[in-house]
Amino acid sequence: MQININQELSLRTVALEDANAVFALTDASRTYLREWLPWLDFTKEVADTTAYIEGCIKGHEANSSLSLVIIFRDEIVGIAGFNTINHSNKVAAIGYWLSEGAQGHGIMSKTVEALLQYAFVELQLNKVEIRAAVGNSKSRAIPERLGFINEGTIRAAEWLYDHYVDHVVYGMLASEWKQQSEN
């Protein structure tokens, strides 16, 4: 699957052939990403990224998740997609990360806009959620900029290496997205 956002930016289903590039990107951004992502210490070699991608492929085949590489100017710069897709309740949770060098181009806002369109139009979902650590202002800025509703805080939602962090839960309903799209 591929979503072309503009001439410079697209999303594509992650594939095993991406393992080297995704690992290299992860490794180069390790210190930056480690502040808010709990899996960096478990991603020590290409084989770890390959195992991650195999899990992504299984989730996609089971129709329970969708992981996409973010391609900016012909290079993979991050990962985004639906960490979970609950078809029974018509809800999906978006997750994303972007390399430090790719920040500041509006990449993630455009990526999440494309994911919202896919969720509400193609998947016919009713709600999309984004969860971010309370202190992760860059990650929180995305749903806030795009008109998500702050639905509350989950205390001690995630273990980050040596401490718990609270998560803010943001939600957008299909009806809210449609209203925004019409304005």
DSSP one-letter string for 118-158: IIIIIS--SEEEEEEETT-HHHHHHHHHTT-EEEEEEEEEE
What is the predicted pLDDT for the residue at 181? 87
- Higher per-residue pLDDT: 56 or 181: 56
- Write down the mean pLDDT value for the chain: 95
Q: How confident is the model at residue 66 (pLDDT cuts 50, 70, 90)?
A: very high
User: Chain-centre distance of CA 182, in angstroms?
Assistant: 25
Q: How confident is the model at residue 38 (pLDDT cuts 50, 70, 90)?
A: confident
Residue 183 has pLDDT above 80, yes or no: no
pLDDT tens per residue, range 75-113: 999 999 999 999 999 999 999 999 999 999 999 999 999
Q: How confident is the model at residue 182 (pLDDT cuts 50, 70, 90)?
A: confident
Residues 151-161, mean pLDDT to the nearest whole number = 96
Assign domain 2-182 to its CATH architecture. Answer: 3-Layer(aba) Sandwich (3.40)
Q: Burial of 70 by CB count in 10 Å (0-12 exposed, 13-18 middle, 19+ buried)?
A: buried
Residues 24-52, mean pLDDT to the nearest whole number = 91
> Angle 26-3-35 (CA atoms, 0-180°, nearest 5)?
25
Residues 157-171, mean pLDDT to the nearest whole number = 96
CA distances from 67 to 83, 147, 164 (A): 7, 23, 26
Residue 34 has pLDDT above 90, yes or no: no
